[in-house]
Amino acid sequence: MSIYFYGKSIAGTVIYEKIGCYGLPMFAIVNEDILNSGAFDSSIKIGTACGINYYYVRFTGTDLNLLMNVASGVYPDFDETEKQLAGEEWEKVEEMFNEIDILLESFDPVD
């Protein structure tokens, strides 16, 4: 299961047409097979269900940094309104990651 951030800014409304996803990839809940085949920054085991281990993973080279880069002016083509929106969205993403334990604790294995 993959979770994407979708905002109001241009940077926050990226569409990955090839895989049919809207927004910027934040994290995923994966089993061991996917964990061993993917490029992830980090992983935390969150539980086991029916003998299968599940992990919370963050993606390598995350596109979420796009929000921070737009907000800080790395890409000069964006106007001040867009920079402000991206900055607000970056703050929201940081809040969400700071509260990730609450979300992870809500996953109960069903055997």
- Which pLDDT does position 30 carry in this prediction? 92
Residue-wise pLDDT tens digits, 23-73: 888 888 999 989 988 778 788 898 888 889 999 998 766 678 889 999 999
CA-based R_g, the chain, Å: 16
Residue 97 has pLDDT above 80, yes or no: yes
- Which pLDDT does position 70 carry in this prediction? 92
* Domain locations in the chain as residue ranges: 2-105
